[in-house]
Amino acid sequence: MAQTFPKASITTEAAHEAIAAAEAKAREIDTPMVIAVVDDGGVLKAFSRMDGAALLSVQVAQDKAYTAVGFSMPTHGWHDFIKDDPPLADGAPTGIERLVIFGGGYPIQVDGQVVGAIGVSGGHYSQDQQVAEAGLQALGVPVG
């Protein structure tokens, strides 16, 4: 009999908790945001476009979450990762579909396993990061 190895994935309840905390932070900094939470496979699990958030931020937030879960690293880590490597710097942003290389996307890790990701767009990337980090903190997930 074949053994199966189930993998963990973020729950709907946890995804909505992250969204609520991120929205609260966005209201605190008075910047309407789009917040996307994806599961471990990069599929949208929960989503919010706050009133007044830019239309183009809808796709950017989803792509930040997708990038973060797909590579198990925050999106802001990509710039340093590729900046001194010309083939990567030239090829990654145009050659990897949906890749975002600026802040606002974080993997959600539980016990060292990526279970999903959060992506935020709507402000400067540093504001996007603050809002995403609030979502992680609500889940008790380390920011990093």
- Residue by residue, DSSP assigns the chain as -----------HHHHHHHHHHHHHHHHHTT---EEEEEETTS-EEEEEE-TT--TTHHHHHHHHHHHHHHHTS-TTHHHHHHTT-HHHHHHHHHHSTT---SSSEEEEEETTEEEEEEEEESS-HHHHHHHHHHHHHHTTPPP-
> What is the topology classification, in CATH, of domain 12-138?
Beta-Lactamase (3.30.450)
pLDDT in tens, the chain (144 residues): 456 666 789 999 999 999 999 999 999 999 999 999 999 999 999 999 999 999 999 999 999 999 999 999 999 999 888 888 888 888 888 888 899 999 999 999 998 899 999 999 999 999 999 999 999 999 999 886
Q: What residue ranges do the domains of the chain occupy?
A: 12-138
